[in-house]
């Protein structure tokens, strides 16, 4: 395998708090190890359209505390085509880039795997997504910050829910996974979490209304994962109006606020550890792997395992929400 002298780093897909901390760690760890670094703007789009800039240590000064990504991010239809990937590879070679570090979610890592296979390019991924839906890692970069953002918002909603004796459905992100919904329900003392992992097993709304509310409760908050399977918070509130008209149901969709804000200490540390580990992995000859953590230790996760969506929900936590909501 050819010696790696220059690393390209990009962020792709939805932004997540902590991405800048990861960019900083990748850049400085590479420079510390005698490598040069190129920043690729706007994800794969920057590779296809040759938006590539040299990064020095000072390029990543004072960014660890910032949300978003200084490299910007964009969806790139062109990269989904063989012609687009050929253009990306040609630009990568012209820029002297020997290996890539891709920071993003399942779509980004799927694209990285295809590109790496087609052109025999060493690629290491970092799990940058608030959804925490990537396999082989206990947590993804941005998940903890998003969880705290949801918690703060729901704490404020609780004040108005109890004042007006209302049932609030709060919709949170999560893609195909219910981690944000379930754990934010636990953190906020919500009455229930409605998640896609349970939708095929039970009518979660009927179970909640019929068994979940005790008579003395004058308000309730239900966290709902955005997903076609759950129908989202709006669909559930409509059902309540029709089937359980005694409840005054309201909807709050938290939306993109969940992606913003300064990353928590946990996400900054996680991103820093993973960024350094990505450079170490490349120097060890690793390729087509995502950096993950299991029980606090760094692990290498093959791309196919990382993007499989078979992580599973902790049923004990689901039961705990029910137990603590009586």
Question: Virtual CA dihedral for 114, 79, 74, 30, nearest 10 degrees?
Answer: 50
114/273 Cα distance (integer angstroms): 26
- Those residues whose C-beta lies under 8 Å from the C-beta of residue 216, and which sit 6 or more positions away, are none
Contact in structure between 106 and 307 (CB atoms under 8 Å): yes
Beta strand 36-40 pairing with 6-11: parallel
- Cα–Cα distance, 272 to 74 (Å, whole number): 23
- In sequence order, the 6+-apart residues with CB closer than 8 A to the CB of 186 are 193, 317, 320, 321, 324
Instruction: Give the torsion sign (CA, 82, 84, 85, 89).
Output: positive
Known catalytic membership, residue 131 = yes
Choice among 15, 131, 144, 267 that is catalytic: 131
| Exposure b/e, 227-259, CB count within 10 A at least 16 = b | beebbbbeebbebbeeebeebebbbbbbeeebb
HSE-up of residue 202 (Cα within 13 Å, Cβ side): 12
- Cα separation, 51 vs 55, in Å, equals 13
What does the CA dihedral 162, 252, 134, 83 come to, rounded to 10 degrees?
-170
Provide the token pair at 75. Answer: 């969806």
Catalytic residue annotation? 131
């Amino acid at each position: 395998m050819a010696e790696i002298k220059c690393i390209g780093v990009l962020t792709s897909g939805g932004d997540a708090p902590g991405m800048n901390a990861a960019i900083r760690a990748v850049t400085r760890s590479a420079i510390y190890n005698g490598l040069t670094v190129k920043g690729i703007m706007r994800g794969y789009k920057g590779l296809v359209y040759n938006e590539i800039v040299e990064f020095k240590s000072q390029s990543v000064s004072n960014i660890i505390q910032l949300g978003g990504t200084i490299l910007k991010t964009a969806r790139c239809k062109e990269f989904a085509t063989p012609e687009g990937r050929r253009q990306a590879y040609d630009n990568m070679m012209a820029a002297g880039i020997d290996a890539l570090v891709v920071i993003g979610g399942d779509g980004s890592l799927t694209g990285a795997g295809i590109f790496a296979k087609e052109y025999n390019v060493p690629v290491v991924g970092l799990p940058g997504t608030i959804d925490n839906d990537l396999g082989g890692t206990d947590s993804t970069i941005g998940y903890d910050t998003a969880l705290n953002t949801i918690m703060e918002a729901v704490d404020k909603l609780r004040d108005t829910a109890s004042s007006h004796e209302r049932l609030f459905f709060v919709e949170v992100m999560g893609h195909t996974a219910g981690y944000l919904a379930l754990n934010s329900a636990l953190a906020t003392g919500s009455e229930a979490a409605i998640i896609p992992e349970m939708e095929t097993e039970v009518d979660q709304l009927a179970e909640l209304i019929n068994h979940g509310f005790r008579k003395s409760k004058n308000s309730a908050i239900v966290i709902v994962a955005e997903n076609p399977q759950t129908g989202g918070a709006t669909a559930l509130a409509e059902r309540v109006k029709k089937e359980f008209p005694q409840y005054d149901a309201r909807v709050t969709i938290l939306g993109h606020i969940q992606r913003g804000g300064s990353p928590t200490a946990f996400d900054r540390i996680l991103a820093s550890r993973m960024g350094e580990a990505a450079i170490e992995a490349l120097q060890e000859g690793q390729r087509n792997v995502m950096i993950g953590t299991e029980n606090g230790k760094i692990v290498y996760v093959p791309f196919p395992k990382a993007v499989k969506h078979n992580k599973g929900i902790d049923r004990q936590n689901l039961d705990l929400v029910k137990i603590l909501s009586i």
